[in-house]
């Protein structure tokens, strides 16, 4: 039995179960205690000292975020002493902060700025003193330690949610800073570029290397033909930057905005997501059949998805031995890249050297992926510039577009037509679900009665189960069974991936085979909807609402729901690629992985 406590917050009686903090109790009676370092999905640390309140009978102020409520506690949240103390603490923080808000990446979208205003800071009584620490801008995630307020959120994201441990506090006292082992550039560390640290940073201390200027330059260069693709998860989050609810489906508005911004062709990553299913699905089916017919289960299975570049670097670093098990199919972004500069270039008779290929992604790791040296199957860098959802929003604002009230337009068909299977790629379990729809069709010769595969949906860290696929007569004969039970698992967030992969590696080592046939892994919690390039303040609940938007588009808004039924996908195989996993497809759409275990 959990004890019920009665306490008094600013004289208001509130009853809460034991274990609740003062902050949570206050929320119950509409008392909003200001916080700065606190983040809903992380463990409260009490680092900033803003959420202090008076507790009767205690000499010092207590931190509401991490002080458990006790029975009969009498709390005052807005006495003069409390308000003065909070303001002084904020003034202290600001005395050690560059305060160059006008030039900052986070201007108008900064929790420090907002909180300073909330606490009534109108002047800076303490003389400023600078920390003068160099900028770490070697990689795609930029680290400006001078702006860091040492809230510790990024470290928790990296260590607890992602188990990468690329960053930690180093030094002590005034010299404390968030950094890497030996204070190396982030780019030289085990960092996966997942950007979960960036997503939770309250200030401009962590941000993506921007490509906005390069993209504007390309658009404004008359000799360049600029094509753009947008990942599934972008469409259900971009609206948040313009006052719309999480999960609002903005595919149409997004396409319209891109046309108005001046892109020459507005395609959609969803198209190559469908293509990914064809390539990856074919690979999975081939391997399952090989495994079952040769009996060498552990050699061919499981097949693990490869769309998430943060996950790929994580795998190359911590699970390099599993490289053989990762699908060789490129991610949708990297399938789009070479096809734009070959297939599309041929069709439109454009010299590929004049094509500039831009992608809009919910992800910071996609910038890294596009820059991987092997990603030049077209003879050029396949994807030239990657923008995050946040950068996209900035560009919309710069263009003077009233995003919320835009009319809705379709993407250009050739590489822009997509199915519901593609759109759910953006949610954890989506790739698995999309692949199963097609695998089912190929193996059984029939469409699924119900496309919704609920067992791979939702926010549980690791989801697993068996999907019983009925086999067509020919397949039944070849495999000597009527129904193929496909054991699948889905993990999102690298800590969950680590758990699942450790199990798989152990099973492979000890038993020579793992229990799973097919595994989907996404680096970010929630899948791409929770990507490190999405609008800030994306708590788990918000990630789930974004995913709901994708399932809604799949179920209610698109004409086709399975990748193999995408007419433009059928067309590209007919006109250009031949068949899935053909020689040409292999050359353009498949890749290899690198052993990075020496980083550890």
Partner 1 sequence: MAKIFRTHILVSIDPETLLSGAKGIYEKFKKEVEASKLSNEVMVAETGNLGISNKGVVVVVYPEGVIYVNVKADDVTKIMNEHIIKGRIVKDLVFSGEKVSGSSVKMELPKQNRVVLKGSGEVDPESLEEYIGIGGYEGLGKVLFEMKPQDVIDAVKKSGLRGRGGAGFPTGLKWSFTAPLQGEKYVICNADEGEPGTFKDRLIMEGVPFRLIEGMTIAGYAIGASKGFIYIRGEYALSIEKVNKAIETARKNNLLGKNILESTFSFDIEVRKGAGAYVCGEETSLIESMEGKRGNPRNKPPFPGVKGFRMNPSVVNNVETLANVPAIAVNGADWYKKLGTEKCPGTKVFTLMGDILYPGLIEVEMGTTLKDVVYKFGGGIKEGKKFKAALIGGAAGAFISEKGLDVKMDFDSLGEWAAVLGSGAVLVMSEDRDPVETLNSILEFFKHESCGKCSPCRIGTKRLELISKDIMKGRATEGDWETMKELSYTMKLTSFCPLGQSPYIPISSFSKYLEDDMKKNLNK
Q: Please report, as ranges, the residues that interact with partner 1 according to CB under 8 A.
A: 44-49, 52, 60-61, 63, 66-68, 81, 84-86, 88-89, 92-93, 95-96, 125-127, 129, 149-150, 168-169, 171-176
Q: Supply the minimum distance, in Å, between the C-beta of residue 186 and ligand SF4.
A: 6
Q: Supply the minimum distance, in Å, between the C-beta of residue 52 and partner 1.
A: 5
Q: Is 528 a catalytic residue?
A: yes
Of these residues, 366, 391, 553, 563, which one is catalytic?
Answer: 366
Nearest to 211 by CA among 363, 392, 385: 385
Residues contacting 502, CB < 8 A, separation 6+? none
Strand partners, 188: none
Q: Please provide residue 597's backbone torsions phi and psi, each rounded to the nearest 5 degrees.
A: -65, -15
Q: Supply the minimum distance, in Å, between the C-beta of residue 174 and partner 1.
A: 4
Of these residues, 18, 56, 374, 473, which one is catalytic?
Answer: 374
Nearest to 291 by CA among 38, 486, 528: 486
Q: Is 327 a catalytic residue?
A: yes
504 half-sphere exposure, CB direction, 13 A CA radius: 33
Q: Is 208 a catalytic residue?
A: no
Q: Supply the minimum distance, in Å, between the C-beta of residue 314 and ligand SF4.
A: 8
Select the binding partner of residue 201 from ligand SF4, partner 1, none (C-beta < 5 to 8 A, by kind): ligand SF4
**DSSP characters for 133-146?**
PPPB-SSSEEE-TT
Q: Supply the minimum distance, in Å, between the C-beta of residue 82 and ligand SF4.
A: 18
Nearer to partner 1, 63 or 517 (CB): 63
* Near ligand SF4 in 127-156, by CB under 6 A: 141, 148-154
Binding span for ligand SF4 by CB under 6 A among 187-195, 391-399, 424-432, 444-452: 187-195
Q: Contact between 158 and ligand SF4 (CB under 6 A)?
A: yes
Nearer to partner 1, 51 or 421 (CB): 51
Cis geometry, peptide bond prior to residue 302 (ω within 30 degrees of 0): yes
* Near ligand SF4 in 327-356, by CB under 6 A: none
Distance, CA of 161 to CA of 62 (rounded, Å):
28
* Near ligand SF4 in 203-242, by CB under 6 A: 203, 205-206
Q: Supply the minimum distance, in Å, between the C-beta of residue 132 and ligand SF4.
A: 16
Q: Render the burial of 366-399: b for 16+ CB within 10 Å, e for the rest.
A: bbbbbebeebebbebbbbbbbbbbbbbbbbbeee
Nearer to partner 1, 49 or 286 (CB): 49
Select the binding partner of residue 205 from partner 1, ligand SF4, none (C-beta < 5 to 8 A, by kind): ligand SF4
Nearer to ligand SF4, 113 or 250 (CB): 113
Q: Contact between 157 and ligand SF4 (CB under 6 A)?
A: yes
Distance, CA of 154 to CA of 200 (rounded, Å):
6
Nearest to 342 by CA among 575, 592, 565: 575
Count of all residues that appear for the chain in the document: 600
Q: Is 366 a catalytic residue?
A: yes
DSSP-based three-state secondary structure for 481: coil
Residues 4 and 18 sit within 8 Å (Cβ to Cβ): yes
Residues 152 and 37 sit within 8 Å (Cβ to Cβ): yes
Q: Supply the minimum distance, in Å, between the C-beta of residue 502 and partner 1.
A: 21
Of these residues, 179, 327, 378, 514, which one is catalytic?
Answer: 327
Strand partners, 206: 143
Q: State how far Cα 453 lies from the chain centre.
A: 22
Strand partners, 516: none
Nearer to ligand SF4, 192 or 328 (CB): 192
Residues 517 and 488 sit within 8 Å (Cβ to Cβ): yes
Candidate residues 36, 51, 75, 191; the one interacting with ligand SF4 per rule CB under 6 A: 191
Nearer to partner 1, 148 or 301 (CB): 148
Q: Supply the minimum distance, in Å, between the C-beta of residue 63 and partner 1.
A: 7
Nearer to partner 1, 47 or 334 (CB): 47
Nearer to partner 1, 129 or 598 (CB): 129
Nearer to partner 1, 96 or 187 (CB): 96
Q: Please provide residue 8's backbone torsions phi and psi, each rounded to the nearest 5 degrees.
A: -125, 115
Alpha-carbon separation of residue 11 from 319, 369, 550, 584 (angstroms): 56, 55, 45, 73
Candidate residues 194, 266, 273, 288; the one interacting with ligand SF4 per rule CB under 6 A: 194
DSSP-based three-state secondary structure for 21: strand
Q: Supply the minimum distance, in Å, between the C-beta of residue 148 and ligand SF4.
A: 3
Select the binding partner of residue 349 from ligand SF4, partner 1, none (C-beta < 5 to 8 A, by kind): none
Q: Backbone dihedral region of 320: left (phi > 0), alpha (psi from -120 to 50 degrees) or beta?
A: alpha
Select the binding partner of residue 162 from partner 1, ligand SF4, none (C-beta < 5 to 8 A, by kind): ligand SF4
Nearer to partner 1, 143 or 437 (CB): 143
Of these residues, 230, 279, 369, 433, which one is catalytic?
Answer: 369
Q: State how far Cα 376 lies from the chain centre.
A: 24
356 half-sphere exposure, CB direction, 13 A CA radius: 20
Q: Is 374 a catalytic residue?
A: yes
Distance, CA of 260 to CA of 353 (rounded, Å):
24
Of these residues, 111, 240, 279, 283, which one is catalytic?
Answer: 283
Distance, CA of 317 to CA of 359 (rounded, Å):
26
Of these residues, 280, 433, 520, 553, which one is catalytic?
Answer: 280
Residues 432 and 276 sit within 8 Å (Cβ to Cβ): no
Q: Supply the minimum distance, in Å, between the C-beta of residue 19 and ligand SF4.
A: 23
Of these residues, 307, 363, 524, 538, which one is catalytic?
Answer: 307
Tokens of 43: 């463990």
Q: State how far Cα 139 lies from the chain centre.
A: 18
Select the binding partner of residue 93 from ligand SF4, partner 1, none (C-beta < 5 to 8 A, by kind): partner 1
* Contacting residues toward ligand SF4, per CB under 6 A: 141, 148-154, 157-158, 162, 164, 166-167, 178, 191-197, 200-203, 205-206
Q: Which residues are known to be catalytic?
A: 280, 283, 307, 327, 366, 369, 374, 528
């Amino acid at each position: 039995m959990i004890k019920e406590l009665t306490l008094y917050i600013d004289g208001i009686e509130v009853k809460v179960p034991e274990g609740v903090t003062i902050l949570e109790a206050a929320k119950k009676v509409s008392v909003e205690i200001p916080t700065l370092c606190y983040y809903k999905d992380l463990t409260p640390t009490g680092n900033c000292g803003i959420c202090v309140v008076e507790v009767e009978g205690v000499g010092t102020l207590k931190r509401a975020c991490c002080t458990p409520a006790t029975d009969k506690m009498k709390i005052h949240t807005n006495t003069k002493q409390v308000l003065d103390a909070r303001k002084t603490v904020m003034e202290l923080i600001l005395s050690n902060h560059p305060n160059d808000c006008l030039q900052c990446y986070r201007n108008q979208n900064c929790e420090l700025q907002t909180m300073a205003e909330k606490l009534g800071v109108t002047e800076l009584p303490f003389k400023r003193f600078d920390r003068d620490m160099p900028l770490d801008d070697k990689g795609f995630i930029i680290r400006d330690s001078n702006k860091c307020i040492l809230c510790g959120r990024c470290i928790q994201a990296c260590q607890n949610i992602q188990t990468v441990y690329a960053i930690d506090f180093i030094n002590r006292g005034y010299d404390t800073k968030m950094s890497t082992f030996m204070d190396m550039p982030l780019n030289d560390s085990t960092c996966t570029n997942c950007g979960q640290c960036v997503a939770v940073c309250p200030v401009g201390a962590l941000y993506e290397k921007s490509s906005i200027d390069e993209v504007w330059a390309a658009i404004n260069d008359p000799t360049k033909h600029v094509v753009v693709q947008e990942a599934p998860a972008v469409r259900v989050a971009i609206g948040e930057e313009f006052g719309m609810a999480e999960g609002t489906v903005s595919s149409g508005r997004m396409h319209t905005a891109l046309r108005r911004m001046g892109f020459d062709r507005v395609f959609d990553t969803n198209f190559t997501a469908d293509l990914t299913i064809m390539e990856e699905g074919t690979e999975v089916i081939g391997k399952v059949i090989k495994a079952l017919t040769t009996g060498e289960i552990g050699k061919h299975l499981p097949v693990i998805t490869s769309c998430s570049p943060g996950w790929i670097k994580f795998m190359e670093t911590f699970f390099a031995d599993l490289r053989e098990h990762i699908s060789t199919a490129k991610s949708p972004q990297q399938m789009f890249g070479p096809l734009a500069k070959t297939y599309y270039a041929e069709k439109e008779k454009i010299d590929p050297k004049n094509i500039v290929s831009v992608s809009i992604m919910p992800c910071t790791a996609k910038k890294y992926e596009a820059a991987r040296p092997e990603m030049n199957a077209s003879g050029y860098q396949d994807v030239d510039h990657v923008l995050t959802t946040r950068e996209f929003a900035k560009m919309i604002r710069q263009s003077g577009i009233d995003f919320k009230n835009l009319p809705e337009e379709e993407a250009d068909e050739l590489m822009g037509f997509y199915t519901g299977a593609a759109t759910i790629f953006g949610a954890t379990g989506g790739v698995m679900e999309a692949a199963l729809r097609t695998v089912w069709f190929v193996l059984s010769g029939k469409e699924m009665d119900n496309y919704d595969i609920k067992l791979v949906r939702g926010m549980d860290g690791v989801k697993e189960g068996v999907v019983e696929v009925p086999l067509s007569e020919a397949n039944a004969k070849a495999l000597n069974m009527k129904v193929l039970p496909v054991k699948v698992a889905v993990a999102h967030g690298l800590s969950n991936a680590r758990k699942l992969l450790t199990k798989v590696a152990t099973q492979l080592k000890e038993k020579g085979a793992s229990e799973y046939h097919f595994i989907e892994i996404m680096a970010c919690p929630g899948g791409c909807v929770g990507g490190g390039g999405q609008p800030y303040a994306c708590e788990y609940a918000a990630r789930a609402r974004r995913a709901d938007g994708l399932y809604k588009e799949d179920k209610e808004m698109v004409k086709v729901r399975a990748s193999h039924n995408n007419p433009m996908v059928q067309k590209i195989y007919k006109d250009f690629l031949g068949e899935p996993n053909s020689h040409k497809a292999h050359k353009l759409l498949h890749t290899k992985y690198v052993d990075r275990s020496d980083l550890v």
